[in-house]
Each structure stands twice: as structure tokens, then as C-alpha cells.
């Protein structure tokens, strides 16, 4: 009998000790991976990871890489840094990152894990860079709670010039309100220019969030990769962006804008892949890499609050404009909010994506305008638009309403010409005009 009591006590103690650990071990909210070329076949890899502050601390699990030509994965280690609270709340609200006793049930921290890899001994061009950690957090309601977290990207070391990945300039703001029209943009930028002076082009798409290499997370009935939450118009999706309608669940494959209006509380997971293309010697775009962002979105009931509204160019709906090299040009973006007490703060990532351009926001205005100005040079002429993102944030509590829009600037060559004048007999003047450099943009 004494042995039986001893055994039962041991089992009871094990349940008490280990059950909380199993629950709290789920803490990962999302991640993305980027790389920077620092020499032939050498790259600095950066994993940006997002932690649920209600779970355990994030650990520096190693970054791995694997050649597409075969072989096993190689551990590249990684150094952990950061821990910044990026929870999108008003200034008066607390978060779970600041206090475990906070009434607001969310808290998001951002970390970075970095390492240097040398691929010089490999003959293969293409590599998969990956990072994983257990586990996705317990808040998820659409099927992936407690699943392993895995994210990977594809790098081509043979791309010329040596490739730097696209990168995200906006964090994944992950908390939105029921019945709030949401327009978000990850603010992806690519600084590379090929040997012909042309920029890489980017294409966005929804992909499966992963629990292991090639293995997607499970979704419960009614939820999929393409419909990860319940939204206005579910399960239909519009292919056209229409802010007043806010119908469907839409990703613009050229700009990265995501638009939806959630109709019920959910905590879900989605993933976006950004394919990077570079033209070959024949002018044909070839895919040279893919980055991915895996993120968690929480939809909660909020005090009645509508998101801010951002106009297109000069108050209209247009979001792209042609500029000419050597000529200065400006336009404005307007903000508005239909809620009586809200005011809007505007920001932009112009300084990160378009060197030399400016975006000045009116001060002291409830609904300010932002003015974009740029004088591109001939060196800025390229076939793909330069892009920047404008974000409007209201002052609602506890969760700020926010909206983002992507704008494109196409830089064309300015006309060039020269002429000569010859004075002939009887004062006759002969003029000859000569076209300057002819640049084909395709």
C-alpha cells in the first residue's frame, strides 16, 4: 500500500510540475528572415521573431541552411537580441509585456537572431535558410495552437550582382477590431540594382504557414490559407481594392496591401511570401529568391472605432505617378477619420525606401496632410516603380485604429536634344536638331 501511495504521489506531483510548462511553452507569434550579402558567398542572416509575452522567453534556437542539391541541414547558430514591446496600443494602455497583471490581454515583443554563413564550399546555387522553435502560442483559435513554428526562405548565391534580400520596414501589427475596415502593408523594399541599372521586382502571395519543412499547419473547419478569418463577404474574395466597400480578403500581388473587415473575434495565422525577380541578359525576369513573413492576427471586440482613411494622390484614388528625371515634383496624401473624437498621426517609410525623397506631415492638424517631394536623377530611371508606404494611426484606446497604403513612383528619362544653327547668305539661318540619349523602358 505504501508503494501505491508513493506512486500516486509521484504521478500527482508530475502533473502539477509539468502541466503549466506545457501550456506556457507556446509563445511564438511570427517571424521573417532576411539576408545581406557581405562578400562573395557570405551572407548575414537575420531572423526577426515575435513573442507572445504571456508565454516563456524566446530562445536562440539556431538558424539552419540546406543546399538544394542535397545533403542535410547545417546549423549556423545565431545571436539573440532585442525584446522591444511593439503592441499596438494607445499611450494610456498597459500590455502583458509591461505587466502580467495588465487588464489588456495582449503583449508582443520583437527579437532578432543573427548569424554569418559562408557558402563558398558549396557548388549549388540555391539554399533554403530556416528557423524553428516550439511552439505557436495558445491564443490561436483557428487550429494551430501548440504546433511547432517553422519559417524558411530561398537564397540564390549565384545571383549577380550578389543579392541582398528584400526586407520589411513595417512590423506586423497584429491586433485589430471586429467590423473595422483594415488596410495594412508590410512595407517591403529592395535596394538592389542589376548590372543594367534595373531594380529587382517583387510579387506577393499568400502561402501556407508551416510547422516543419513542407508541412503546413492545420486549420479547423471553415478556415484555410486563403480564408484565415471570418470577414465581410466570407468566403468570397474581391480582386479589386475598394476601401468604402471593404469586401473580401484581398492581397494586392504588386503592392502587398492586405484588405479585410473581420466580422467576429478570432486569433489566426497567415503567411505572406515575397518573390524577388531580376532580369537576365535577354531581359526576361528570373526568380532569384523568396522571403516569407509568418504572422498572427488577433481580432477583438473594441469600443466602437473605425480605422483612419488615407486618400490616394492629391486626395483622389490614384496610387501611382510618373516622375521625370531631373524634374522636381510633389503631391499630397490626405487623412481622415469618421469618429468624432479621433485625430490621426501620419508616418511614412520614405526615408528607408527612396533616398533623397521627403515626406512632410502638417503639424497641429487633427487630420493632417502629408506632402511627398522628390527630384530623381537619371541614375534613378528604372522600369519598376519605387514604392513607399504611408500609415495613419488614430488615438483610440486601448487599440489604435490604423491604415496603410502603398504608393508607386515610376521614374522616366527626361527628353534630351541638342541643336546647331548656321548663318548662310542673306541672313538665312539653318537649324538642325539632334535627339539625345534614347532610353527604352520596358
Q: Is the pLDDT of residue 427 over 80?
A: no
Total-model pTM = 0.84
- Region class of 53: left (phi > 0), else alpha (psi between -120 and 50), else beta: alpha
Residue 20: pLDDT band by 50, 70, 90 thresholds? very low
pLDDT of residue 61: 93
pLDDT of residue 51: 96
What are the structural domain ranges in the chain?
Answer: 25-302, 309-399+408-412
The predicted model gives 264-281 an average pLDDT of: 95
Q: Rounded to an integer, what distance in angstroms lies between the CA atom of residue 42 and that of residue 25?
A: 34
Longest dimension (CA), the chain: 132
Given a contact cutoff of 8 angstroms between Cβ atoms, the answer to whether 405 and 389 are in contact is: yes
Q: Is the pLDDT of residue 145 over 80?
A: yes
Q: Is the pLDDT of residue 133 over 70?
A: yes
- Whose cell is 537649324? That residue is 431
Helix/strand/coil for 391 = strand
Q: Rounded to an integer, what distance in angstroms lies between the CA atom of residue 353 and that of residue 384?
A: 13
pLDDT of residue 216: 96
Q: Is the pLDDT of residue 100 over 60?
A: yes
The predicted model gives 201-213 an average pLDDT of: 96
pLDDT of residue 25: 56
Residue 4: pLDDT band by 50, 70, 90 thresholds? very low
DSSP 108-139: EEEEEEEEEEE-TT---SEEEEEEEES-B-TT
pLDDT digits (tens, 9 = 90+) for 273-325: 999 999 888 889 999 999 999 999 999 998 778 889 999 999 999 999 999 99
Instruction: Retrieve residue 159's grid coordinates.
Output: 545571383
What percent of the chain is predicted at pLDDT more than 90?
Answer: 71
The neighbour count for residue 378, using CB atoms within 10 Å, is 14
Beta bridge partners, 36, equal 44
CATH hierarchy code of domain 309-399+408-412: 2.60.40
Q: Which of these, 244, 182, 102, lies nearest to 400 by C-alpha position?
A: 182
The predicted model gives 144-149 an average pLDDT of: 94
Instruction: Retrieve residue 356's grid coordinates.
Output: 533623397
pLDDT digits (tens, 9 = 90+) for 159-178: 999 999 999 999 887 899 99
Output Rg (C-alpha) for the chain, integer angstroms. 26
Q: Is the pLDDT of residue 111 over 90?
A: yes
Q: Rounded to an integer, what distance in angstroms lies between the CA atom of residue 197 and that of residue 203?
A: 20
Q: Is the pLDDT of residue 244 over 70?
A: no
pLDDT of residue 361: 98
Q: Rounded to an integer, what distance in angstroms lies between the CA atom of residue 81 and that of residue 72?
A: 28
Q: Is the pLDDT of residue 431 over 50?
A: yes
Q: Is the pLDDT of residue 153 over 80?
A: yes
The predicted model gives 404-425 an average pLDDT of: 82
Q: Rounded to an integer, what distance in angstroms lies between the CA atom of residue 396 and that of residue 175?
A: 13
Residue 435: pLDDT band by 50, 70, 90 thresholds? low
Looking at per-residue pLDDT, the higher value among 173 and 55 belongs to: 55
Given a contact cutoff of 8 angstroms between Cβ atoms, the answer to whether 217 and 294 are in contact is: no
Amino acid at each position: 500500500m505504501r508503494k501505491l501511495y508513493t506512486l500516486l504521489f509521484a504521478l500527482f506531483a508530475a502533473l502539477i510540475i509539468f502541466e503549466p510548462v506545457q501550456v506556457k511553452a507556446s509563445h511564438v507569434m511570427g517571424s521573417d528572415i532576411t539576408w545581406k550579402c557581405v562578400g562573395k558567398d557570405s551572407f548575414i542572416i537575420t531572423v526577426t521573431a515575435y513573442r507572445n509575452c504571456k508565454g516563456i522567453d524566446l530562445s536562440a534556437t539556431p538558424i539552419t541552411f540546406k543546399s538544394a542539391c542535397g545533403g542535410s541541414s547545417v546549423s549556423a547558430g545565431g545571436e539573440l537580441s532585442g525584446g522591444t514591446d511593439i503592441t499596438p496600443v494607445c499611450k494610456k494602455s498597459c500590455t502583458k509585456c509591461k505587466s502580467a497583471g495588465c487588464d489588456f490581454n495582449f503583449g508582443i515583443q520583437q527579437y532578432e537572431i543573427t548569424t554569418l554563413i559562408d557558402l563558398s564550399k558549396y557548388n549549388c546555387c540555391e539554399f533554403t535558410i530556416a528557423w524553428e522553435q516550439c511552439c505557436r502560442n495558445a491564443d490561436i483559435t483557428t487550429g494551430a495552437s501548440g504546433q511547432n513554428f517553422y519559417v524558411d526562405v530561398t537564397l540564390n548565391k549565384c545571383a549577380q550582382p550578389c543579392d541582398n534580400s528584400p526586407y520589411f520596414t513595417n512590423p506586423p501589427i497584429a491586433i485589430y477590431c471586429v467590423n473595422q475596415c483594415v488596410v495594412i502593408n508590410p512595407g517591403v523594399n529592395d535596394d538592389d540594382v542589376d548590372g543594367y541599372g534595373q531594380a529587382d521586382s517583387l510579387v506577393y502571395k499568400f502561402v501556407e504557414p508551416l510547422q516543419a519543412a513542407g508541412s503546413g499547419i492545420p486549420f479547423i473547419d471553415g478556415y484555410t490559407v486563403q480564408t484565415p478569418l471570418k470577414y465581410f463577404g466570407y468566403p468570397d474574395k474581391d480582386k479589386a481594392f475598394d476601401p468604402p466597400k471593404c469586401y473580401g480578403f484581398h492581397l494586392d500581388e504588386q503592392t502587398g496591401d492586405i484588405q479585410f473587415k473581420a466580422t467576429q473575434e478570432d486569433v489566426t495565422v497567415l503567411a505572406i511570401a515575397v518573390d524577388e525577380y531580376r532580369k537576365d541578359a535577354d531581359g526576361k525576369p528570373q526568380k532569384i529568391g523568396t522571403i516569407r513573413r509568418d504572422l498572427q492576427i488577433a481580432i477583438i471586440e473594441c469600443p466602437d472605432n473605425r480605422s483612419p482613411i488615407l486618400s490616394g494622390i492629391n486626395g483622389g484614388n490614384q496610387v501611382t505617378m510618373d516622375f521625370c528625371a531631373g524634374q522636381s515634383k510633389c503631391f499630397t496624401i490626405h487623412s481622415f477619420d469618421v469618429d468624432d473624437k479621433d485625430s490621426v498621426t501620419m508616418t511614412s517609410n520614405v526615408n528607408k525606401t527612396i533616398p533623397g525623397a521627403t515626406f512632410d506631415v502638417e503639424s497641429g492638424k487633427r487630420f493632417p496632410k502629408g506632402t511627398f517631394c522628390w527630384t530623381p536623377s537619371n541614375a534613378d530611371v528604372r522600369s519598376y516603380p519605387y514604392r513607399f508606404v504611408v500609415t495613419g494611426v488614430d488615438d483610440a484606446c486601448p487599440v489604435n485604429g490604423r491604415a496603410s497604403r502603398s504608393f508607386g513612383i515610376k521614374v522616366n528619362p527626361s527628353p534630351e536634344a541638342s541643336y546647331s544653327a548656321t548663318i548662310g547668305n542673306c541672313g538665312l539661318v539653318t537649324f538642325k536638331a539632334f535627339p539625345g540619349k534614347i532610353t527604352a523602358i520596358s
